[in-house]
């Protein structure tokens, strides 16, 4: 059966996470990276069972629905339920392998990461295989020292030093690393959960549609 392996389509982005809940920091990062790299689409993939951290506070079905509501109205963004629907732990290497099989070998794929997640990359399952499956775009705060020798773990620094590109157009289907300064929005899902648990207002930290869903289902506080 034929595949699209020899046909390079426009680049697409992949953004994973627990999204517990999704907020404007996630959305702005994806928006700026999409503009910078020229991504046709960004797929938001909520983790079903993240193996490297504590279980999410909120069931996967709720987190997926919050993502869907957050993305509504942006034709460039789409929710992908594959990890939520899978009975297996959510490993990024498996998700990218599946996407690569679907999209073909010539399709440029970009894994979008915040700087903190990127610095933890050597702790991820089969992390070096990620470079053979996708490019990695890292959102850094303006003036960040990510490229300093002591700023990242030595194994990661070794990979970055041979893969770094100054512009997304210089990258192929996979294997490049792009560091891009993005608007610093100091918003965290943990802070939002804690705020809501105290019955504080989380307005303007996440989309109104997501906040309404949270209140409707009493996700982070008791009714």
Give 20-67 pLDDT, tens digit per residue.
999 999 999 999 999 999 999 999 999 988 776 667 889 999 999 999
Question: Domain-by-domain residue ranges, the chain?
Answer: 12-217
Local structure of 142: helix, strand or coil? coil
Name residues of the chain where pLDDT drops below 70.
1-7, 52-54, 143, 149, 223
Closest CA to 19 of 30, 3, 35: 30
Q: Which CATH architecture has domain 12-217?
A: 3-Layer(aba) Sandwich (3.40)
Nearest-angstrom CA–CA distance, 109 and 42: 10
């Amino acid at each position: 059966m034929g595949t699209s392996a020899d046909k390079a389509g426009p680049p697409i982005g992949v953004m994973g996470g627990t999204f517990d809940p999704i907020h404007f920091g996630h959305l702005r990062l994806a928006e700026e990276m999409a503009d910078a790299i020229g991504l046709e689409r960004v797929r938001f993939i909520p983790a079903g069972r993240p193996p490297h951290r504590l279980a999410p506070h909120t069931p996967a079905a709720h987190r997926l629905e919050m993502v869907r509501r957050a993305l509504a109205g942006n034709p460039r963004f789409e929710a992908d339920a594959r990890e939520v629907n899978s009975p297996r732990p959510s490993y990024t290497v498996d998700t990218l392998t599946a996407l690569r099989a679907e999209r073909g070998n010539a399709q440029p794929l970009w894994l979008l990461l915040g700087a903190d997640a990127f610095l933890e990359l050597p702790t991820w399952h089969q992390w070096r295989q990620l470079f053979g499956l996708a490019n990695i775009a890292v959102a850094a705060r303006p003036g960040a020292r990510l490229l300093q020798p002591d700023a990242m773990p030595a194994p990661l620094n070794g990979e970055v030093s041979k893969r770094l590109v100054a512009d997304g157009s210089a990258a192929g289907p996979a294997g490049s690393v792009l560091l891009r300064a993005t608007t610093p929005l100091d918003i965290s899902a943990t802070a939002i959960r804690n705020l809501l648990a105290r019955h504080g207002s989380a307005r303007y930290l996440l989309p109104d549609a997501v906040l309404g869903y949270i209140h409707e289902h009493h996700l982070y506080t008791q009714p």
